[in-house]
Amino acid sequence: MVDSEREIKNETLGRITISDDVLADLAGLTCTRCYGIVGMASQSFHEGVAELLGRESLRKGVRLHRRDDKVSFDLYVIVEAGINIAEVAHNLIEQVKYMVESSTGLKVEEVQVHVQGVRVN
């Protein structure tokens, strides 16, 4: 991910910009707080092994795309065994959309959830 900043609001006293890294961190943190999500996974799913990322690497499990004042996310997650994956993914989509829109004022156009693994806690 290339760190870029886009102006989201031009105020009379100045301007507000939010970097892609901030958006990725916000989405990653939101993911880890959702029921059924064990953690973020690396985007490079290599040889069938999903790597669980630590808190300092949450943005590595997030890919984002910006177009004008809209943002889309691809989230790479590991879920808890025994839960309804579809329900957890739907909840995750809603939570990330709400958190990003309410925190930044940017419109979330799309959230794709990629389940990279299942873990027994």
Contact 95, 58 (CB under 8 A): no
At 15-67, the pLDDT tens digits run 888 999 999 999 999 999 999 999 888 776 554 445 555 555 678 889 999 99
Q: What residue numbers bound the domain in which 98 lies?
A: 5-119
Question: Which ranges of 1-121 would DSSP assign to H, the alpha helix?
Answer: 20-32, 85-104
pLDDT tops 70 at residue 97: yes
Number of domains in the chain: 1
> What residues are paired with 80 via a beta bridge?
119
Of the ranges 43-57, 78-92, 93-107, which one carries the lowest mean pLDDT score?
43-57
Q: What is the mean pLDDT of residues 84-107?
A: 97
In CATH, what number is assigned to the domain containing residue 15? Answer: 3.30.70.1350
CB within 8 A of 19, min separation 6: which ones? 3, 4, 5
Residue 121: Cβ-neighbour burial (10 angstroms; 0-12, 13-18, 19+) = exposed
pLDDT for residue 47: 41
Confidence band, pLDDT 50/70/90 cuts, at residue 7: low
Contact 20, 104 (CB under 8 A): no
Q: What is the mean pLDDT of residues 92-119?
A: 96
